[in-house]
Amino acid sequence: MKAMILAAGRGERMRPLTDATPKPLIKVGGKMLIEYHLENLARAGVTDVVVNHAWLGEQLPAALGDGVRYGLDIVYSDEGSTALETAGGIIKALPLLCDDGDEPFLVVNGDIWTDYDFRQLPKLSNLIHLVLVDNPTHHPEGDFVLDENGIAQNIDVDQTNQNVPLTFSGIGVYSPEIFTKLKVGAQPFPRPLAPLIRQAITEQKVTGEHYQGQWWDIGTPARLQELDRLLQD
């Protein structure tokens, strides 16, 4: 399985730290945030990684190189000066992820930290598999729920009120079918991923799992400092 690390965001809430450095290159616990993903992917046996970039994008290949020191082959998807959002970025990177095949690929947000073991991801049995986590304090409403069979459901259609809302971790496995069937022009355009996930959920084509280990969304300098203290202990 190939993997894509999303690293093109501006990181507005992390300013002024991100005025000079892309968020995935900010250090925490003595390492760049993105390095934790690269090391975890290598441990899981992933060898091919795509990293997209936009804001200060030239810094990513300069910092990470071709990936050989991580035991990986890293290639880059340059989105120019304006990020294409998640789905738009994946669509642009499809030629690097799929090699004209239909193998699923892993996508992980570059601005999270987690001890999730990518080796535990199940074989994709549907269009999408999502890793969900307990709701953090800054996102108490959650994103999706899981039914008793591990099938993801949109919160607004859960009529039982028995399923606890969970937050999307930013880790997912996707069939390229989701993106190749979209009609796109010659030039990719900004496109969010959430509507595509929600549509696939309505078609009962999304599985999920509830991960209860360590997971951090590094969305503010305060959260970065808190995680840094944890990793330094």
Q: What residue spans define the domains of the chain?
A: 3-225
Please give the structure tokens belonging to residue 10: 């501006």
35-63 b/e (C-beta count within 10 Å ≥ 16 → b): bbbbebbbebebebbbbbbbbbbebbbee
Q: Which residues contact 165 (CB under 8 A, 6 or more apart)?
A: 135, 141, 142, 143, 144, 145, 155
Mean pLDDT, the chain, rounded, equals: 89
pLDDT tens string 155-176: 875 545 567 899 999 999 999 9
Residue 12 predicted with pLDDT over 80: no
pLDDT tens string 73-129: 999 999 887 888 999 999 999 999 987 678 999 999 999 999 999 999 998 989 999
Least confident segment among 64-68, 125-129, 224-228: 224-228
Q: Measure the CA dihedral 121/122/125/131, to 10°.
A: -40
Give burial (CB, 10 Å; 0-12/13-18/19+) of 75: middle
Is 3.20.20.140 the CATH number for 3-225?
no
CB 135 within 8 A of CB 165: yes
Q: What is the pLDDT of residue 181?
A: 76
pLDDT range class, residue 216, cuts 50, 70, 90: very high
Q: What is the pLDDT of residue 10?
A: 76
Q: What is the pLDDT of residue 176?
A: 93
Find, among 16, 15, 11, the residue nearest to 54 by Cα: 11
Q: What is the pLDDT of residue 46?
A: 96
Please list the helix, strand and coil fractions of the chain in percent, rounded to the nearest 5, in that order: 30, 25, 45
Residues in the chain: 233
Euclidean distance between the first and final Cα of the chain, in Å?
Answer: 34
Q: What is the pLDDT of residue 134?
A: 95
